[in-house]
Amino acid sequence: MRLDLDGKTALVTGSTQGIGRAIAAGLAAAGARVGVNGRSPESVGRALAELGDGDFVPAPADVTTAEGAAAALDAVGDVDILVNNLGIFGARPALEITDDDWRRYFEVNVLAAVRLTRSVLPGMRARGWGRVLYIASDSAVVIPAEMIHYGVSKTALLGVARGFAKEAAGSGVTVNSVIAGPTHTGGVEDFVYSLVDKDLPWDEAQREFMRRHRPQSLLQRLIEPAEIANMVVYLSSPLASATTGGAVRVDGGYVDAILP
């Protein structure tokens, strides 16, 4: 299978580290021109240095605002592939999640993606080709007791993807969400150590976290960012032309269901 993205331009939000950076690298390796997004020119510059070879475009902007979204799109130009990867997460007891917390999670995890989709979808339809992807989470289906605000925001993304897929029906544009399972990133390392003994070596801490907090994982380890990126690159390619309106799982078997 040749995942040929030559001539395509992508924007990956929140792509200076973790899953987003792996997605940017994967899309570029398949031939796409990729906008790398972070909130500051400094963070984007560091990511570009680490990404190395590839057709990358710096797109520093806070895409949680209308002005920032417009700035990122201006930096990249016409977008053929939009990957809504930006997201925040954090543990908090359910009864301590404030109204402001709920608003912030929806602004960052949901509305930023909706705003960007609204901006790029008309152009994709006019050109007769496009890909819109939302990086969701197993937490969208299995709401974690320690961060229900995060889980619910990811549940919303599944509905957003399905709705926009209907809006794009018959146009040559596909819209999907990717349900990522527990993934090994720097932020997740901090999260793991917030729940297990901070003195444990990383390999032991990871195993303890999976045993205590994610026991239903069939993979029984954290997923590597490149493994999420592989699915995103496929869904972004012409080979995935018949996959739209879906919630595609890269969760290590974490969600105990046949369908999401």
Alpha helices in 52-98 (DSSP H): 66-76
Catalytic residue among 134, 150, 193, 254: 150
Cα gap 55→113, rounded to integer Å = 24
> Residue 110: which residues within 8 A CB-CB, separation 6 or more?
153, 156, 157, 160
What are the start-end ranges of the E strands in the chain? 9-12, 33-36, 56-58, 81-84, 130-137, 173-180, 247-250
Helix (H, G, I), strand (E, B) or coil at 130: strand
150 catalytic? Reply is: yes
Tell me the Cα Rg of the chain.
18
- Annotate 174-198 with DSSP letters as a single string: EEEEEEE-SB--HHHHHHHHHHS-T
Active site residues: 150
